[in-house]
Amino acid sequence: MNSTVDNLVPSAGTVRTVHVKTVMPEANSFWVLYGQHTEPTYLEDAGNGQQLQRDAALEYVKQWRVCLDIGSNIGQWTRPLARSFESVVCFEPNPNFRECFNKNIYENNVVIWPVGLSDKEHRAKQGFNSTVLQNEEGEIDCRTLDSFGLTNVDFVKIDVDGFEIPLLNGAKQTLIKNNPVINIEMKKDKRNNITQQCASILKDLGYKFHKRTKSDEVWLKK
């Protein structure tokens, strides 16, 4: 039987989430939509959702109020983050990943926004089960993180596969006002020197690189 929940996070508004299962999932069981899948598929053990990177970043968190899960995908980071933070605000533009997310996440301190984060309001394209936003006219709504006016943000996880620069440019006021710990995926093989440009933006905002775990980097205010 389906259930509908209205989730409220300070300064983020209310988002309605429809849950299509009534049994709480096991820790590593998830509905997934990997590259070979043509529809959401349930796995009893889908792995720990990058626990190594997550634990390394959370070591730096001092307060546990609002967390942002940007590029939340199917919710593998969201579930453990919801157990640590008072509120988790998620952003996932791909509707097919959100279908899995809504089957996976039951915590009532979580909201998910069906948008991509960019440096302005616009529309973009995204493939069926792609994590990559294409900066072309499409069906995906994009807006800035700053437009949400979020407060009490203590931790930000970013995994947006090539859209980091517009995201950060549209998030500067949020980062300046909240000074959160940032965990950002920074694959060294990203094209067009994206990692260097992201590092430059973060340094201009007063951030300093602290730790790298696999492809993820932790940045803190100096």
Tokens encoding 174: 């949020």
Q: What is the pLDDT of residues 162-180, one digit of tens each?
A: 899 999 999 999 999 999 9
- pLDDT for 67: 98
- Cα–Cα distance for residue pair 150/42, rounded to 1 Å: 33
Tell me the β-bridge partners of 22: none
- For residue 26, what are the domain limits? 3-221
All residues at 6 or more sequence positions from 193 whose CB lies less than 8 Å from its CB, including other chains = none
Task: Please state, in angstroms and rounded to a whole number, the distance separating the CA atoms of residues 53 and 214.
Answer: 7
Residues 6+ apart with CB under 8 A from 57: 155, 157, 181, 183, 211, 213, 216, 218
Q: What is the pLDDT of residues 177-195, one digit of tens each?
A: 999 999 999 987 666 689 9
Beta strands of 81-171 (E only): which ranges? 87-91, 110-113, 116-117, 122-126, 133-134, 140-143, 153-158
Alpha-helical regions (H) of 59-163: 78-84, 95-104
- Assigned token pair, 65: 């109020």
117, 167 Cβ separation under 8 angstroms: yes
Both tokens assigned to 90: 């998620």
Q: What is the pLDDT along the chain (222 residues), one digit of tens a residue?
A: 344 445 555 445 544 444 433 455 678 999 999 888 889 999 999 988 889 999 999 999 999 999 999 999 999 999 999 999 999 999 999 999 999 999 999 999 999 999 999 999 999 988 777 787 877 788 999 999 999 999 999 999 999 988 999 999 999 999 999 999 999 999 876 666 899 999 999 999 999 999 999 999 999 997
CATH number of the domain within which 203 lies: 3.40.50.150
CA gap 215, 142 in Å, rounded: 25
Number of domains in the chain: 1
